[in-house]
Chain A
C-alpha cells in the first residue's frame, strides 16, 4: 500500500465527507485506485458532489470538457495533483 501525502489525505477526507462514505477507513485507501467503478465505487452523482466540495474548498470549478477529465478522476493521486495545479484559495 502506498502512503498518502498530506494533500492526498486532505482530498480523501473531502471526498469521504462529500459523498458519505461512512465505512471507508482512511488508512485503507490506495491513492492509485480508480475513484469510479471498482476502486472507490463512486459514480457520476458523487462526481457532482465532489466538484462542489472542491469549488468551495479550493476555489475553482471542474469542467467535463477539460480534455484531462478522465485522468483527473482516475485516482485520488491524479485528482489531488489537479487540485494543486488549479487551486485559487
Chain B
C-alpha cells in the first residue's frame, strides 16, 4: 500500500488516541499537535527549503511537519557551524532557518518558532496528507573533496523506514521515547521525529545531555520508556552511577558499542540494549542485540548484494540501491557481520568524516605546507584525532583557530604537533606505520619534557 500510495498521512491514522509528545507542560495530544502544525505552517516564509535548527525536540517536530504541509524540504546540515550552513544554503536559494532562540551570526533569515503562540483554540482530528514522493528532507555527508553531498529523502521512504523499525523492535502502543541524539541527524530524525509521526510512540520534547538530564527526562515520561542514544552518552550515563527509572529498551547507534558497555548498560537500566546499523545514505537498515553476538539482522524486506568490492543494500524503504561504506560479510540472506570501516572514513562520537576531507581542510590553511590527520589506535580514553603539521611560520594556536572555522569540533586534533617534515616516501605517499612511529616518538618526547 505504502509503496504505491500517492499520498501518505502526516500521522499514523490508527494512533489518534496516543499522545505524540511530552513537554514540561504535560502530554501533547495528536489533535493539539495538528493544530500547532497548522498554525505554524501558516506563518512559515514562502520558500522551498528550510534548515530546522530547533533544539527543543517538540518545536523541531512541529517545524518539520509544518514545512511538509507547505511543500517545503527540510535541509539537514551535518554541522551547525555558520560557515557550513552558508555553504549548504548556497545550493538552495531562498533557504531560511527555523530556530527556537535567536542566533546572532546566522547567515540566513531566521523564523522563530519559540515566539509563536502555540495554544490551539481548535484541536483538530483532520490529518493532512503529504505527497509520498515529496522530498521531505535532504541529509548531507562530507565528501573527500570538501563538498557536502546531498541525500534526498522522500516522505514515502521515511515513513516506510519508521514502520520497518516499528516491526523490528515491536514498540508497544504508548511507548515514550527519550532521545539524546539531535533530530537534525538521520538517526535522530528517524527515531525521535519519524517514529512519533508514523507509529504510535511519543517523544520527550527535551534533548537531555548530562546523565542527570537523561535520568530526569526518563522519569518525566510515562512507562513504557525507551532511551535512544549513542555509545558516548551511554558510557557517561553508566559511569555516573545513578539510580535509573524503569526503562523497557535502550537503542544505541552512530558508532560500535562494546559488549562490555552493553552489558553494563543492560545491568544498570535492567533492560535489553539494541543497536541500529545504518548510514546517512540508507537510513537504518539492520539491528542487533549487542550481547547476542556480532551478527546484524537486516530489517524486513531489505537485501544485500555485492557490487565491485563493496556491498549495496536494496528493498524495504529504499527506492534505489545504496552502496555501503563499511566492509561486511553476509551470513545468509538476512544476517551479516560488520568487518570495519573503509580506511578513509572515521567516526568520532557519531560524527562521520573523511580523513581525506580533513587533510584537505588542513592543507588549505594559508601557511600550512603539509599536514595530515591521524586516528591513533591505542587510545584508552575517548578517541581523538591527532594532526601532524608542517607550518614553520604559523603558531599552533593560529592553525587551531583556522581549523576551528573549517571543521566540526569533534574532529579538532588533540594534540596537534608541529614538525619539520612528514615521513613521506619518495613517491609522496605517507605510510601509516611511519606516521604511527613518528606520533609515538613525539608523545614520548613530550612526556619526558614534562
Q: Which residues of A line the B interface, CB within 8 A?
A: 20-23, 36-38, 41, 43-45, 47-49, 51-52, 55, 61-65
Contacts and interface: CB of A to CB of B under 8 A. Distances in A.
Contact of B239 (A36, A45, A52, A65): A52
Nearest to B206: A65
Nearest to B447: A22
A51 B415 contact: no
Contact of A45 (B382, B400, B401): B382
Contacts of B443: 22
Contact of A64 (B213, B349, B382, B410): B213
B240 A45 contact: no
Nearest to B400: A41
Contacts of A41: 400, 404, 409, 412, 414
A20 B413 CA distance: 12
A74 to B, nearest CB: 16
Nearest to A37: B404
Nearest to B348: A45
B236 A52 contact: yes
Contacts of B410: 43, 45
Given A36-B409, A37-B404, A41-B414, 5 more contacts: A21-B414, A45-B232, A51-B210, A52-B211, A52-B239
Contacts of B400: 41
29 contacts: A20-B381, A20-B382, A20-B414, A36-B409, A37-B404, A38-B404, A41-B400, A41-B409, A41-B414, A43-B409, A43-B410, A44-B209, A44-B409, A45-B382, A45-B410, A47-B210, A48-B211, A48-B236, A52-B236, A52-B239, A55-B240, A61-B212, A62-B212, A63-B213, A63-B216, A64-B208, A64-B210, A65-B206, A65-B216
Chain A's interface: helix, strand, loop or mixed, by majority?
Answer: loop
A49 B240 CA distance: 10
Given A20-B381, A38-B401, A45-B232, A65 B213 contact: yes
B212 A63 contact: yes
Contacts of A64: 208-210, 213
Contacts of A51: 210-211, 236, 240
Interface of B: 206, 208-213, 216, 232-233, 236, 239-240, 242, 349, 381-382, 384, 400-401, 404, 409-410, 412, 414-415, 443, 446
Nearest to B209: A64
B354 to A, nearest CB: 19
A48 B239 CA distance: 11
Contact of B382 (A23, A36, A49, A62): A49
Contacts of A62: 210, 212
Given A20-B381, A45-B382, A55-B240, A63 B404 contact: no
Contacts of A49: 236, 382
A70 B158 CA distance: 35
A34 B394 CA distance: 23
Q: Which 4 residue pairs are nearest across A and B when measured between Cβ atoms?
A: A61-B212, A43-B409, A64-B209, A48-B236
